[in-house]
Amino acid sequence: MKKHLLLLPLLFIGIKGFSQNTIPTETTAYTQRAEFPGGDEAFRKQFMNMLHAYVDAQSYAIDGTVTFVINIDKTGKMDRLDVLPKIKNGEMFIDDVKYALKKVKGKWKPAMKDGVSVESKYIFKVNFATETYDAG
């Protein structure tokens, strides 16, 4: 019994010490953001035009704000798209949005950090209820 009473405080100390460990995350501070030819407004306008042309939001039952997170690689190419929140028939919706994204003309100038091009993310919100957009 004494053995258990001695081990019990050690157990609580060990759990508390383990729970306080944090995993360091890498944050990137850019010296220059990624830029689209003509600026953000030109990208938003082209993206919305292509979105309306190639994506039927009503068939996916979207009514609200959707956030698009576009990854821009070191060469300025849009290489990955994340859509938040998850949507019913989401894979087909994402495929349609990717197709619309490919139709946007123009190549991004990549983000720079200390004179070296780096990957970055461009966050773009679209409210399908009112069909307006907002840069995140």
99-110 tens-digit pLDDT:
999 999 888 999
The residue type at 112: M
CA 6, distance to chain mean position in Å, is: 49
Helix (H, G, I), strand (E, B) or coil at 47: helix
Domain ranges of the chain: 39-131
Query: What is the token pair recorded at 121?
Result: 């993310």
Q: How far is CA 44 from CA 28, 36, 73, 76, 78, in A?
A: 24, 10, 19, 17, 14
Q: What is the pTM of this model?
A: 0.69
Residue 48 falls in which region: left (phi positive, over 0), alpha (psi -120 to 50) or beta: alpha
pLDDT at 41: 93
- Note the pLDDT tens digit of each residue in 24-63: 555 567 788 899 999 999 999 999 999 889 888 777 777 7
